[in-house]
Structure 1
Amino acid sequence: MGELLLVCMCGGLGAVARFVLNTSIQRWWNRVFPLSTFVINITAAFFAGIAAAAYYYQTVGYFTYLLFVAGFLGGFSTFSTAINEMVSLAKGKRILMASGYFAVTVIIPFLMVVLGWWVGAMGH
């Protein structure tokens, strides 16, 4: 039960971090492209890659990995918001932007996880 509560607390911290970053970016970004969600998700992907490498190379234990990835990054990242933004762009007749956003939302986070693994595996 304690593990569950700690994951929930870390998820809450991740959600607060997402809110702060989202609000900060939206204050100065007033274009159609949903930059804040994109930045949040690529940041989460990068740190997930680092965490995965750290766990793989036994730099951190499973519990730490669980708290960070399932908890904090689970609350921080927001794939469902990205999908909703894609649908909104498409409904607003911005098909090209919706398609481009779809592509970068899948490709860039994948590359960020790879980069995170690379950074996390340095020295191993």
Structure 2
Amino acid sequence: MTFILVCLCGGLGAMTRFVVNTSVQRWWNRAFPLSTFVINVIATFCAGIAAAAYAKSGVDHNTYLLFVTGFLGGFSTFSTAINEMVSLLRARNWPIAALYITATILVPLICVAAGWWVGSL
């Protein structure tokens, strides 16, 4: 049963990603892939909160799986971020590519730590 619920939560996460992605892209038409970046920032912050809650035994294992593996797994999109990095590099958009690569690696790490801190309060 957990398997099916994780799959359903993953589908909900993917639908949410679609809505956020479409919404951001409607008003953002610059080279920097803001929608994917925002999605991954939100996902990593929430993952940090969930990890802290799970570590403090505030959340059981199945709930953690449903949210992190299911919903956030469907919501976040590292593969799209990598594809966007490659597209920026192929277009020789060096400054935006460098900014996006750096931000995509560093900011989520900070977000997980911030989420863990918030979840530990």
**Same-fold call, TM cutoff 0.5:** yes
Shift of 1:7: 0.4
SS of the residue corresponding to residue 32 of structure 2 reads coil
Distance 1:86 1:38 in 2: 11
Within 5 Å, give how 1:25-40 maps onto structure 2. Answer: 25-40=24-39
Q: Name the amino acid aligned to 2:79.
A: S
Shift of 1:96: 2.0
Corresponding residue for residue 41 of structure 2: 42
Corresponding residue for residue 118 of structure 2: 119
Corresponding residue for residue 102 of structure 1: 101
TM-score (norm 2): 0.99
Q: Given the alignment of the two structures, is residue 66 of structure 1 paired with residue 68 of structure 2, yes or no?
A: no
Runs of 4+ in 1 over 4 A off after TM superposition: none
Distance 1:14 1:41 in 2: 12
Distance 1:15 1:59 in 2: 26
In structure 1, the gaps of 5 or more residues are none
Distance 2:105 2:50 in 1: 19
Distance 1:36 1:74 in 2: 16
Q: Name the amino acid aligned to 2:112.
A: V
Count of matched residue pairs: 121
In structure 2, the gaps of 5 or more residues are none
Distance 1:117 1:93 in 2: 37
Corresponding residue for residue 11 of structure 1: 10
The alignment's C-alpha RMSD in Å is 0.5
Distance 1:71 1:24 in 2: 22
SS of the residue corresponding to residue 75 of structure 1 reads helix
SS of the residue corresponding to residue 32 of structure 1 reads coil
SS of the residue corresponding to residue 60 of structure 1 reads coil
Distance 1:55 1:85 in 2: 32
TM-score (norm 1): 0.96
